A = this chain, B = another copy of it.
Amino acid sequence: MNPARRIRDEIAASIQSGAWRPGHRIPTEQELAARYGCARGTVSKALSELAASGLIERRRKAGSFVAHPPVHSAVMTVPDLAELIAARGEAYRWQALAIERLTGGDDGFARPALAIEGVHFAADEPFAFEQRRIALGEVADAADADFEAQAPGTWLLAHIPWTEGRHVIRAVTPTRKEARLLGIGPSTACLELDRTTWRAGGVVTHVRQLFRGDRFDLVAEFRSGLESARPS
């Protein structure tokens, strides 16, 4: 086994088993190097990984300590809806309801913008209702895309990779119009997902998706560091 990996795993095990409580001071790099019979650089690499994964904290001169607040961060993968539905083995379809070019007005979103409304279908039943804005100043190509044929999320994913963003998730009761579009009763709970996406500089798109509560869950996992941050 790699010395670096071995050191990393043994320290991680000591922490996760509870043998080393939060705040416990880890031996210095020199001590560990002597104990494992390897160079300090190797120990340093192992500790760096543990620090990156949040398991320990390192302070110059002071040493390395078992990290202290185990705030649970969960990783939620947000796949493209077309993929998600295909993965379920259901047929996917997108239907645009309205596509409009906004030049004036003010809703807090940049202008010019494209405003798109539509419904995602799974197995020919409504699955989610989507309202979207795309900033044409950031994504000029979007003006030429055919959003009747392709859902804007799918198009954006292929054309504007590597963005940052923020989701807000809530439970809401649909409006009468939304309930009709989703083919559900007016008191069926829906999951609302508000996503703002940006790329160095400006907001690229904002989308509000309303999911039928009875056909959709979100799954998020948390783990104590190690393995890559981004499980493919």
Question: Hey, which bits of chain A sit against chain B, CB under 8 A?
Answer: 13, 15-18, 21-22, 52-55, 69-79, 157, 160-173, 187-192, 199-200, 211, 213, 216-225, 228-232
Give the number of copies in the complex: 2
Interface contact A229-B220, CB-CB below 8 Å: no
Measured CB to CB, the closest approach of chain B to A229, in angstroms, equals 4
Question: A78: which B residues are within 8 A, CB to CB?
Answer: 71-74, 222
Which of the listed residues A162, A173, A224 has the most CB atoms from chain B within 10 Å of its own CB? A162
The verdict on A165 contacting B218 (CB below 8 Å), with A213-B171, A230-B53 known, is no
The reply to whether B69 and A220 form a contact with Cβ atoms under 8 Å apart is no
Interchain Cβ contacts under 8 Å between A and B, 28 examples: A16-B162, A16-B199, A16-B200, A17-B200, A18-B160, A18-B161, A18-B162, A52-B229, A53-B229, A54-B228, A54-B232, A71-B79, A72-B78, A72-B165, A73-B75, A73-B78, A73-B229, A166-B220, A167-B218, A168-B217, A169-B217, A170-B191, A170-B216, A171-B172, A171-B191, A173-B187, A189-B189, A225-B230
Interchain CB contact under 8 A, A74 and B167: yes
Give the docked Cα–Cα distance between A189 and B189 (Å). Answer: 5
Are A75 and B77 in touch, CB under 8 angstroms?
no
The 8 Å CB contact of A190, one of B169, B171, B192, is B171
Which B residues are in CB contact (< 8 Å) with A157? 70
The 8 Å CB contact of A221, one of B160, B167, B223, is: B167
Once the chains bind, are B219 and A69 in contact (CB under 8 Å)?
no
Are B230 and A168 in contact (CB-based, < 8 A)? no
Interfacial chain B residues near A173, Cβ < 8 Å: 187-189, 213
Indicate the member of A170, A200, A224 with the most B CB atoms within 10 Å: A170
CB of A169 within 8 A of CB of B70, answer: no
Closest Cβ–Cβ distance, residue A18 to chain B (whole Å)? 7
Q: Decide if A169 touches B218 in the complex (CB within 8 Å).
A: yes
Using known A-B contacts A165-B222, A171-B213, determine if residue A73 contacts B190 with beta carbons closer than 8 Å.
no
> With the chains together, A52 CA to B75 CA distance in Å?
15
